[in-house]
Chains A and B, each alone.
Chain A
Amino acid sequence: MSAATDAVIPRILKTYEAELLDEWLREQLSTLRAGSKISESELRNQSREFMNLLQQATQGGNVTDVQGPSYGRVRDMLGDVSRSRGIQGFSPSETATFVFSLKRPLFSLIRKELATDAESLATVTWSASELLDKLGLYTTEVYQKRREEVITRQQQELLELSTPVVKLWDGILALPMIGTLDSARTQIVMESLLQRIVETGADIAIIDITGVPTVDTLTAQHLLKTVTAARLMGADCIISGIRPQIAQTIVHLGVDLGAVITKATLADAFRRALEMTGQRERVLKARG
């Protein structure tokens, strides 16, 4: 692309800034009126700021590389717009339309400017279109990145939430499991349980699976591994909270839980644990 055609877009942006802004605002307001999640003055401010920054960014003659340093402030501004609109409840395409709607007024100005030169008209229109496409897509990218951050954070929180090891009594730990058990989670559950057994010197660990929706062979295998590892360290495990459907599934799958003590409820498991540690009498006496 020649320097002459490259200079057209910056020149138009600079010369017709006010006109372009008016046209653009009219364009946006006509499409936005229906939902109106954003006030007119806010839209006006955002548009004015974007026009201003875009005009400054293009003055260097760079109309293709939006990742370059001259577009830093434009990107920041678009990032802010994308974030604030995301919070206001805009869809990604609505946010991208903020940039795309600049096309029509800009193109009509380019056509007016280069009416006599069909060759450069095509070239300039193409590069202007490319520039706005990239900027529009950038807003979508920011939107998506923000969504991904939220998802990652929630996954992390979920993982932390799902492995609390609680001490029920002297020498008795309980691990209420919630959610589906996959390999990664079981690993964390197993490690934190075994670590707590070492720390507290607990003889018995109760694994409560009331909050586990389904048990398949893999889940059962993970459970058995945890129980075996705890046994190797010298602690006994009781599995509790097995719902009727899960009991049926376990038998149908042919999983052998024969070596493991299983109880229907956490209360039953706790009673058994107290008996095993010989503390039941003391508890009953203390209750009076």
Chain B
Amino acid sequence: MDRIPILKLRDLLLVSIQVDMHDRLAMQLQDELTVKISETGARGVLIDISSLDIVDSFIGRMIANIAAMARVLDAETVVVGMQPAVAITLVELGLNLPGVRTALNVDKGMALLESATRDVEDLPDEDARHTE
């Protein structure tokens, strides 16, 4: 059975979805990713969906859920490389993915994550963290 690999790079986790996403795979990813975040104490998650051509409402909601769960575990999530057709589909489905950071490609996504996690580290007190 297919598995989506989760790679650890310093304090970030990289997920690249290269296969057709089906519901069970999405559930499995959600499980494994949350476990991995808490194990490694990662500060950021980067999900590359540039190979994803087709989404349905379930997959769209899973992406939003994964991002929300990662935030609960104190890791920023960036979704990168969304195809135009996928973006249009999600908008038409009414899934705006609020709270999910996005970037055009992995490079920009990494830069965004680095600046986001660095901001948090640089801040002296905890209260200022909510001024995103």
Contacts and interface: CB of A to CB of B under 8 A. Distances in A.
Nearest to B82: A233
Contacts of A191: 84, 88
B109 interface: yes
Given A225-B91, A228-B91, A228-B96, A203 B104 contact: yes
A194 B105 contact: no
Interface string B63-102: 0000000000000000111111011101110001100001
A232 B82 contact: yes
Chain A residues touching B, range: 10 to 19
Nearest to A198: B84
Among B87, B90, B97, B103: residue with most chain A CB under 10 A: B87
A229 interface: yes
A233 B104 contact: yes
Contacts of B118: none
B108 interface: yes
Contact of B104 (A225, A229, A235): A235
Interface in A181-197: 190-191, 194-195, 197
B90 A234 contact: no
A249 B86 CA distance: 32
Given A191-B84, A194-B84, A198-B83, A232 B90 contact: yes
Contact of B103 (A194, A195, A225, A234): A234
A231 B84 contact: no
A163 to B, nearest CB: 14
Nearest to B84: A194
A194 to B, nearest CB: 3
B84 A195 contact: yes
Contacts, number: 55
A72 interface: no
Interface string B2-38: 0000000000000000000000000000000000000
Most buried by A among B79, B82, B84, B86: B84
B91 A234 contact: no
Interface string A190-211: 1100110110011100000000
B104 A232 contact: no
A232 B108 contact: no
A190 B85 CA distance: 10
24 contacts: A195-B84, A197-B84, A198-B83, A198-B84, A201-B105, A202-B104, A225-B92, A229-B84, A229-B87, A229-B88, A229-B91, A231-B102, A232-B79, A232-B91, A232-B96, A232-B102, A233-B84, A233-B87, A233-B102, A234-B79, A234-B81, A234-B82, A234-B103, A235-B104
Given A201-B108, A229-B91, A230-B87, 14 more contacts: A191-B84, A191-B88, A194-B84, A195-B84, A197-B104, A225-B91, A229-B84, A229-B88, A232-B82, A232-B91, A234-B81, A234-B82, A234-B109, A235-B104
The 8 closest A-B pairs by CB, nearest first: A194-B84, A234-B103, A234-B102, A229-B87, A234-B104, A232-B87, A229-B91, A233-B82
Interface of B: 79-84, 86-88, 90-92, 96-97, 102-105, 108-109
